[in-house]
Amino acid sequence: MVPDSLLEIGDQAFVGCTRLREITLPKALRVIYPFAFRDCVQLSIIKLHATNRPAVYDNIFDHQTLNRATLIIPAGTTLLYSNSLVWGMFHYRMEDFD
């Protein structure tokens, strides 16, 4: 579980975590550094609570994750996330209506 107070996810923080299937990223998150989620071959759900889109590097996810995983974003933030180089590359995006 990622703590709600987490501000940054470091370089290669989860690289190669083959059992990571789902991750919920906190509202406080401000930046994700390079290769943070590379080669997480089972990652299929990424849920963001940040209404201010976290800054990211263009190589935090591999292409398989971008094509396979569902990005779940806060309600009303579709345009914000879609206009991002990385977040906009997710093939599957949906707003969280909880």
- Quote the tokens at residue 33: 């550094």
The pLDDT, as a whole number, for residue 97 is 66
Q: Which residues of 6-36 are buried (b: 16+ CB within 10 A; e: fewer)?
A: eeebeeeebeebeeeeebebeeebeebbebb
pLDDT in tens, 11-29: 999 999 999 999 999 999 9
Q: Tell me the domains of the chain and their CATH numbers.
A: 8-96 (3.80.10.10)
The pLDDT, as a whole number, for residue 48 is 94
Structure-model confidence comparison of residues 1 and 56, the more confident one: 56
In 3D, which of 96, 91, 95, 98 has the Cα closest to residue 44? Answer: 91
The pLDDT, as a whole number, for residue 58 is 81
In angstroms, how far is CA 74 from the centroid of its own chain? 12
In angstroms, how far is CA 45 from the centroid of its own chain? 9
- Quote the tokens at residue 39: 């080669």
pTM for this one? Answer: 0.91
pLDDT in tens, 27-85: 999 999 999 999 999 999 999 999 999 999 889 999 999 999 999 999 999 999 999 98
Instruction: Examine the pLDDT at 98 and tell me if it is beyond 70.
Output: no
